Structure 1
Amino acid sequence: MRVLVLGAGLLGVTSAHYLQQLGHEVIVVDRHATPAAKARGLVETTPDPDAARLLQQVAARQAEHLGWQALGRHVRRRINRVLDGAFGPSSHQKPLEHLVRFGAYSRASARALRDEVGVPTGARGAGLLSLYTDERAFQNRMSGQPRWHALGCEERLLSTAEALDLEPALQATRVAVAGAAHATDDAASRDPAQFAASLVFLCRAAGVRFLTRHQVLSIEERSGRVDHVEALDASGRRVRLEAQAYVLALGASSVVHSEKLGIPMPLDFQREYILTLPILDATRAPRMMLHDRQGRLHIRRVETPAGDGLRVSRCVRARREDEGEPDSDRFDAMLRRVEALLPGAVDTGRAAFETATLAVPRNGLPMIGKTRLRNLFLNTAPGSRNWIRACGAGKSIARIVSGLRPEVEFAFRRQ
């Protein structure tokens, strides 16, 4: 069967690889000159202008109903807590449980890809250290460890002393550390560039065709199916692309087309705050990626034109009531937290500041599965920073397109 994959990001490339492995003829369409260009650092990570405009329109419409949606979510949470207390844990799995299981499946898929066909997942690093500075939060995490372990979570829980010994940069911290969770094989601490380049090479060697510099204009439907896709080629000519099945893997740009086709993609909007800080003392800077659970900060070492630095980010849900709060206040709070966690490690006086608006799935889960159009399938995760999920997502959507059952239990879309 000929399958047209719309989008050559990591989700599109992994989808193409696994579809080809299942015997399909695969064509991948993308507006960039190189497949997986963003993951390989070959283009700026700027969004499709059309997608950005539509996301703003979607945000405005959703804001009109924000109050009722928030009230509905609050009522549902209260009802679920009452039912759980009366009858025990609900059989309906929470999004976090789906993410834990799906993450474990994706990591196993990435390792299998490396072992079976020689695709490296990147240099092995020290992993991800999730810090808990609230004793009650850490105790809750410990009590849930058997459940997370059963779902495939590979994190190892550490005492305060073990955490400080594992990451020496924390020994000078002015924040009380209650404990930590250490993931030795976490993809967030790795560079996806080498993985992406190797996977593109494998796809081409296996016969996958990449139509680069092709801008998808529209997805045309007829009688409950996709009839064809209209696109502009590298010369600016309008072309018609046809296949038996189509995979929509355009990230946030998928919203443009799903909106026109009447396919729901419930989204929330977040504002991401990013600090880049020069390192003053390398011995005080962390070796591994840190996730400050209570401060809600992600901290990792990066190379900048000026030398080694720390990249610190935090995402905040975009809400109308927050519009009057200056960005400077949030950045100041982040700087204070970094100084408390890692005193003397960075030069806060030379911090660089960035902000970005992200569209993320409302329930936090990647959108993978079927749509109301019988031959159109979704594989998209707007705003996702966890690139390793591409392996599990690509393998799963390839099986769904092929009429096979996915290998992992997950909240796949049914229509």
Structure 2
Amino acid sequence: MKVVVLGAGVIGVTSAWELAKAGHEVVVIDRQPAPALETSFANAGEVSPGYSAPWAAPGIPAKALKWMFMKHAPLIVQPRPDLAKLGWLAQMLGNCTSAAYKVNKGRMVRLAEYSRDCLIALRAETGIDYDQRMQGTLQVFRSQKQVDAAAKDIAVLQADGVPFEVLDRAGCLAAEPGLAGAAERIAGGLRLPGDETGDCFKFTGALAALAEAQGVSFRYGVEITRLTVSGGRIASVETSAGTVTADAFVVALGPHAPRLLAPLGIRLPVYPVKGYSITLPIIDADRAPVSTVMDETYKVAITRLGDRIRVGGLAEIAGFDLSLPPARRATLEKSVGEMFTGAGDAAQATFWCGLRPMTPDGTPVVGRTELANLYLNTGHGTLGWTMAAGSARVLADTVSGRSAEIDASDLALARYARSARAQGAAARPVAVAG
């Protein structure tokens, strides 16, 4: 059947690839002149299933208050009034419990591990090249308190069978020799040897070219204005280039998806969370990272991408603002400068920001909606690159009427309705006979 995919970021392009492999006629529509020019353009570069964890976690509200007074805070909440932001934050706070964290992290790791396997298969099938490295990732702790706090994540890794190594300072330096200049700052680390790295922008562009060669039609520079409904189904998508009809429609528009869906009465709890990156040319390869190092203090990822270092992270809740404050760049430069002194030329770095589509429980929304032929693949937050290949496979299986290879029952939008019903039932008083 004919399937229209709305969005040509890494999620939309991988969805198109998997749908085409499943035998569908696929059309991709995007307002940009080429693929991966928004959130997928300059992300941190890590494919890290083991670090797949929701931001909503026990202790986060207290940490957020402390971060408000830090010069180099990993989280910034702009005070501008925004009802959507307030509602999303309230839902996120509701997930900051031990029970919710365990459920949310478990399903995120399940999808991310599957996605890494799908990426390996895709790479073997196509020979695609994107500055990839398969040398694991290392989370670096600067204090014993951070080392101790990793216990809850380690418990989930153990439960899910994810390989890991708990390292002392010497172990961290053995895994990443470029950290030698930062040895006194390091209390320990958590290494995930199965993780990968790579340039998401290069990957998405290369896969789009492969998909096009397989018959996928890409319509760039086309604004998407609205979806029309008839008889409980999507009849068409209205665009700046005219009306497009299809048998099925996939919304992969990242943080812009809620605006398109709201007129249909579909409430998608996805909010833009701004992230930043700098990309530095390497000037001393011996001091540069081997793979990805996560600086736990600043929540910053430092990744080797060919002859470049990508430094990405931070979270700013500021709506659709795309400004580039020098203070955010300073935080990224501080992290890489302290961890890998002299490895890259910060003066030649490019500075970028993107809007991550975040759900309040951390898990993306992949699957069906209440409209028979409308599907979603969005809400991946900081993990779009990590979860792209697996989410696309789940989406293609769902559209094709096949059972997914993993349990995908808790990935669709319906989980929020189930959660609301459960909370409502818990809140209702119980009548007691007397």
| TM-score category (smaller protein) | 0.7 to 0.9
From 297, 302, 305, give the equivalent of 2:300: 297
Distance 2:299 2:40 in 1: 27
Distance 1:114 1:281 in 2: 30
| Structure 2 CA distance for partners of 1:375 and 1:347, relative to 1, 3 Å | closer
Distance 2:178 2:235 in 1: 57
| Structure 2 CA distance for partners of 1:111 and 1:271, relative to 1, 3 Å | closer
Over the residues paired in the alignment, what is the CA RMSD in angstroms? 3.8
User: Does structure 2 conserve the Cα–Cα contact (< 8 Å) formed by 1:379 and 1:393?
Assistant: yes
From 179, 190, 194, give the equivalent of 2:198: 190
Structure 2 counterpart SS, 1:387: helix
- The equivalent residue for 1:267 is 270
Distance 1:272 1:39 in 2: 9
Distance 2:6 2:272 in 1: 23
Do residues 390 (structure 1) and 388 (structure 2) align? yes
Q: How much has 1:131 moved relative to structure 2?
A: 1.0
| Structure 2 CA distance for partners of 1:271 and 1:377, relative to 1, 3 Å | closer
- The equivalent residue for 2:315 is 316
Where does the alignment leave 5 or more consecutive residues of structure 1 unmatched?
43-55, 82-89, 234-238, 321-325
Q: How does 1:70-85 map to 2 (within 5 A)?
A: 70=90, 77=96, 80-81=97-98
Q: In the alignment, residue 401 of structure 1 is paired with which amino acid?
A: V
User: Does structure 2 conserve the Cα–Cα contact (< 8 Å) formed by 1:111 and 1:121?
Assistant: no
Between 310-319 and 374-383, report the one with greater CA deviation.
Answer: 310-319
User: Does structure 2 conserve the Cα–Cα contact (< 8 Å) formed by 1:268 and 1:360?
Assistant: yes
Structure 2 counterpart SS, 1:94: helix
- The equivalent residue for 1:207 is 215
User: Does structure 1 conserve the Cα–Cα contact (< 8 Å) formed by 2:303 and 2:309?
Assistant: yes
Q: How much has 1:36 moved relative to structure 2?
A: 4.9
Q: How does 1:33-182 map to 2 (within 5 A)?
A: 33-36=33-36, 60-63=82-85, 70=90, 77=96, 80-81=97-98, 90=99, 93-120=102-129, 122-124=131-133, 126-141=135-150, 144-145=153-154, 147-173=156-182, 175-182=184-191
Structure 1 counterpart SS, 2:82: helix
User: Does structure 1 conserve the Cα–Cα contact (< 8 Å) formed by 2:255 and 2:272?
Assistant: no
Do residues 253 (structure 1) and 256 (structure 2) align? yes
The one-character-per-residue Cα deviations of 1:66-105 (angstroms, maximum 9, x if unpaired) are 7xx54x765764xx55xxxxxxxx5985322222121110
- The equivalent residue for 1:378 is 376
User: Does structure 1 conserve the Cα–Cα contact (< 8 Å) formed by 2:380 and 2:387?
Assistant: no
Do residues 31 (structure 1) and 31 (structure 2) align? yes
User: Does structure 2 conserve the Cα–Cα contact (< 8 Å) formed by 1:174 and 1:343?
Assistant: no
Q: How much has 1:120 moved relative to structure 2?
A: 4.8
Between 167-176 and 399-408, report the one with greater CA deviation.
Answer: 167-176
Between 140-149 and 128-137, report the one with greater CA deviation.
Answer: 140-149
Q: How much has 1:313 moved relative to structure 2?
A: 3.2
Distance 2:216 2:346 in 1: 47
Structure 1 counterpart SS, 2:218: strand
Q: How much has 1:258 moved relative to structure 2?
A: 1.4
| Structure 2 CA distance for partners of 1:175 and 1:327, relative to 1, 3 Å | farther
Q: In the alignment, residue 83 of structure 2 is paired with which amino acid?
A: R
Where does the alignment leave 5 or more consecutive residues of structure 2 unmatched?
43-77, 415-434
| Structure 2 CA distance for partners of 1:351 and 1:175, relative to 1, 3 Å | farther
Distance 1:163 1:62 in 2: 42
Q: How much has 1:65 moved relative to structure 2?
A: 5.1
The one-character-per-residue Cα deviations of 1:310-366 (angstroms, maximum 9, x if unpaired) are 44333234279xxxxx96666555555444433454566787766565542222222
| Structure 2 CA distance for partners of 1:194 and 1:281, relative to 1, 3 Å | closer
Equivalences, count: 374
Q: How much has 1:385 moved relative to structure 2?
A: 5.4
The one-character-per-residue Cα deviations of 1:213-263 (angstroms, maximum 9, x if unpaired) are 332221111232111111223xxxxx2211121111122232321122221
| Structure 2 CA distance for partners of 1:111 and 1:277, relative to 1, 3 Å | closer
Distance 1:15 1:358 in 2: 18
Q: In the alignment, residue 294 of structure 1 is paired with which amino acid?
A: T
Distance 1:351 1:36 in 2: 20
User: Does structure 1 conserve the Cα–Cα contact (< 8 Å) formed by 2:95 and 2:101?
Assistant: no
User: Does structure 1 conserve the Cα–Cα contact (< 8 Å) formed by 2:4 and 2:26?
Assistant: yes
User: Does structure 2 conserve the Cα–Cα contact (< 8 Å) formed by 1:219 and 1:226?
Assistant: yes
| Structure 2 CA distance for partners of 1:299 and 1:3, relative to 1, 3 Å | same
- The equivalent residue for 1:244 is 247
- The equivalent residue for 2:240 is 232
Structure 2 counterpart SS, 1:398: helix
Distance 1:91 1:352 in 2: 38
Distance 2:339 2:136 in 1: 18
- The equivalent residue for 1:219 is 227
- The equivalent residue for 2:68 is none
- The equivalent residue for 1:6 is 6
Q: How much has 1:378 moved relative to structure 2?
A: 0.4
Structure 2 counterpart SS, 1:103: helix
Structure 1 counterpart SS, 2:363: coil
The one-character-per-residue Cα deviations of 1:290-314 (angstroms, maximum 9, x if unpaired) are 11112312223468xxxx6644333
TM-score normalised per structure 2:
0.72
